[in-house]
Chain A
């Protein structure tokens, strides 16, 4: 189970990076970056995973119930927040690039042009 999750994390990372390399649209590139970042959620969840354990929420279960690692889950939450902010900033930058260069194709943008 853990190995499957680790494989999925690697696959998400590589497929997202491939999308970024071959991207022809900046918004597409931004989404691909989000896919790359998604791989870290899977990786973190896989590290904290224990077979047969529940979520670390002891609302209606006793403290002795085996639960998965809460620390990596908290890290993952931080990761999601950072991803959202990165996406917002990148999209704002893309709007600006479109205004200034008139194109959103990363192969055609000439940022050095005044």
Chain B
């Protein structure tokens, strides 16, 4: 499509959006509390012993929707890797070996020391975010992304070779599958216990002294999600890095 035509279409669309959006805002009921939101806020602690209402929505009341969300992540990671793999697997193995240790500039001692010193705290912080999802803001998705930055720090501080050794692809692929499947299995446990799919059938724990184990299935699901997200993002990083380094070897 030609550029002026595109810009014209955009202008028409933007004016249309401005009119419709303005009308929609003008007719909005204003600030009010939705009944569903209030119910969840009031019930998540007495009913399911979960302090963070957002986590209660995601992993308990609407846990089935989050199962779908997790599989969106799973499938798109698979898709991205399939798209990238086609190009880098064309190169011969020894060619890959020859280029992977290569790096235009080696890191300074300061970069190495700090990135490697940060790796441990990053892992601890990521695990902390994952297991405290039912108590404070956080959970499997957020913690998983924090955990996935640890291999990236290793790449920054060391080299792609070390990164590959830490995140061996078959192991990470299996881990990702375990994380994604674990969520579904926890759901099926609800069935086996004579209840509904993803029903919170695990012991809920002490309501007044919340710990990382309160909330029944929620901490378990958060853990499965955390594993899935960590492995998925590590696979993505690995695929993109491999692609970039293979290209650098070309030129």
Contacts and interface: CB of A to CB of B under 8 A. Distances in A.
A35 to B, nearest CB: 15
A99 interface: yes
Given A81-B72, A86-B76, A88-B80, A67 B243 contact: no
Interface size class of B (residues with CB under 8 A): 35 or more
Given A21-B6, A78-B65, A96 B31 contact: no
Given A50-B31, A58-B45, A81-B73, A99 B87 contact: yes
Interface string A27-64: 00000000000000000000011110001111100010
A74 interface: yes
A56 B9 CA distance: 42
Interface string B12-27: 0110011001000100
A57 B53 contact: yes
A19 to B, nearest CB: 10
B210 interface: yes
Nearest to B14: A14
Contact of A21 (B10, B30, B65, B69): B10
A95 B13 contact: no
Contacts of A6: 25
Contacts of A48: 34, 37
B42 A63 contact: yes
Given A6-B25, A49-B31, A95-B243, A78 B69 contact: yes
Q: Residue among A58, A63, A73 with the most chain B CB within 10 A?
A: A58
Contact of A70 (B3, B40, B240): B40
B37 A92 contact: no
- The 3 closest A-B CB pairs, nearest first, are A69-B37, A70-B53, A85-B76
6 contacts: A2-B31, A57-B137, A59-B135, A81-B72, A85-B76, A95-B87
Interface of B: 3, 6-7, 9-10, 13-14, 17-18, 21, 25, 30-31, 33-34, 36-37, 40-42, 44-46, 51-54, 56-58, 62, 65-66, 69, 72-73, 76-77, 79-81, 83-84, 86-87, 135-137, 141, 145, 210, 236, 239-240, 243
